[in-house]
Structure 1
Amino acid sequence: MKFYGITVLLALAVFAHGLPTSAKTKRSISDNLVSLVKDFQEVMKTGDEDAGIPVLDPFEADSVDLSIDETSVTLDGKLTNLNVVGLSNFSIDTLTFSLIGIRFTFDFTWPSITFNTGYSIDGTVSSDIEVYGSGNATGKITNLSVSGTAALSVRNSYLYIRSLSSEIGLEDVEFNITGIWNDDDVSKLIGDVVGDIAPVLVEDYQDEITTFVNELVTEYANDYLGTMTLSDLIGLLG
């Protein structure tokens, strides 16, 4: 979910980069916003030390802790040597801004995102089925779509997200894993099953996924917006 949170945040995070004045005076606010995001796609590949933005494509992390504590799933684990490629390679299907309601509408599509990582997990599923193991996992996500609307408001002169709605879709997932229950034959079966049902699960559990992600993204996005006034925003996009 962390990567999905980053992608929904793109339309807000790019404000810090701005546009040349000459470009702003000849284009609509929405056109300028699209240009900002396209610029940020390039920044994702190179990073921006001055702005404190690391390289995001490929996204690499030495270690990521996992922790799930839900009614049907309890799981602790860790990802190691995580590598995700393709986060910057998305199409901007819709990206608009309206001063009425201070509202952004967005629709992005990632044709291909690939990942590989080491992992270790220990937990239970359905309260009594033990799940454990360690090994490697690789995969490919095809045509990930993220769309939604973010509405802003002003509090104490500064902007914050008043509401965020989003929707996610997947066309196809390929998934391979080793080491589940320390059994590679079982691991292959699980990888095949996950690849087959992932798009269906995203559709069936859309509300749960987007509720969690919207809360996470709102928290991160407000860190960016908490020092920005409406005049600052209009100055960047107008």
Structure 2
Amino acid sequence: MQGVYIVLVALVAAASASELKEVTNSSVRIYGDKIKALLEEFKKNMNKPQYGLPALDPLEITHLDLNINEQIATVKGALDDFKMLKLSTFVVESVDLDVFGLKLTFNISLASLDISGAYDIDGTIQGDLLHIYGKGPFDVKLGDLWASGVILIGSNHSFIYLKQIDLDYHLGLFKTDIAGLMGGGELSDVLNQVIDEFILTAAEKYKPEVAGVISDLIISVANKLLDGVTLGDILGLINGKTTAAAV
């Protein structure tokens, strides 16, 4: 008889675990759909400030100081009249939120991105392999972009923050038209081609380093926006019970 009880308990436990798993998976799907809908609404309003962010499409920056000191390049200078277009054309391929594990998985793509402005730089690429300098207008086109990964969310006295981002990405097109590079002329044209090939190669070769820099930047910006925000606030926003201004 004791054996029968044990079997019954095991069956109940298995059924409960299966039911809990199904409920959890259903909740993940529901939250994923709601987050996707929220992002679609976010895309529609990227031409104006929202969620504590400036207008993102177009993204315009009057002046931006450059001070890059990485393994692949050391560059100092400035960008003026920076303008980025088409950021709002990103596509959310998939997004899921694990509320119990405090984990968000995502996969997004972007067909193209246009950047323009004026530059004034001086620096080196790959150590002392290439000294690069110049001043003038520039246009950059990026294409066939996607990014996927996992965002781990931490909590501190009920307030949440981004703890870690495991990021993967792909860049299929990088095309520059940088006038006045190395004094302009044919050398400038050749260097534009070299930069195009170098960026695409470096994006793959140094993917962990680049992904780390991007992740750290996202975490820094996001955690400033999340200061004083609870998981309940975020879930309320996802469920339409909290406004962006409240968060």
Question: For the superposition of Structure 1 and Structure 2, which TM-score range results when normalised by the shorter chain?
Answer: 0.7 to 0.9
1:56 aligns with 2:41: no
Aligned AA (1:99): V
Instruction: Name 1:4's counterpart in structure 2.
Output: none
1:88 aligns with 2:74: no
Instruction: Name 1:109's counterpart in structure 2.
Output: 109
1:34 aligns with 2:1: no
Is this contact kept in 2: 1:169–1:199, CA < 8 A?
no
Equivalent residues, number:
210
1:179 aligns with 2:180: yes
Return the offset for 1:183: 2.6
Return the offset for 1:52: 4.1
SS in 2 for 1:221: helix
Gap runs ≥5 in structure 2: 1-28, 240-247
Counterpart-to-counterpart distance in 2, 1:106 and 1:215? 17
Question: Which structure: larger Rg?
Answer: 2
Is this contact kept in 2: 1:72–1:127, CA < 8 A?
no
Return the offset for 1:103: 0.9
Task: Specify whether residues 105 and 128 from structure 1 end up closer, same or farther in structure 2 by C-alpha distance, changes over 3 A only.
Answer: closer
From 46, 49, 69, give the equivalent of 1:47.
49
What is the CA deviation profile of residues 28-51 of structure 1, one whole-angstrom value per residue up to 9, with x for unaligned ones?
211111111111101212334xx5
Instruction: Name 1:78's counterpart in structure 2.
Output: 78
Counterpart-to-counterpart distance in 1, 2:152 and 2:205? 26
Counterpart-to-counterpart distance in 2, 1:43 and 1:84? 16
Instruction: Name 2:140's counterpart in structure 1.
Output: 139
Instruction: Name 1:210's counterpart in structure 2.
Output: 211
Aligned AA (1:112): S
For the aligned residue pairs, the C-alpha RMSD in angstroms reads 1.9
Return the offset for 1:129: 4.7
Determine which structure has greater relative contact order: mean sequence separation of CA pairs < 8 Å that are 6+ residues apart, divided by chain length. Answer: 1
Is this contact kept in 1: 2:68–2:74, CA < 8 A?
yes
Aligned sequence identity (%): 27
TM-score between both structures, scaled by the size of structure 1: 0.81
Counterpart-to-counterpart distance in 1, 2:198 and 2:72? 18
TM-score between both structures, scaled by the size of structure 2: 0.79
Instruction: Name 1:17's counterpart in structure 2.
Output: none
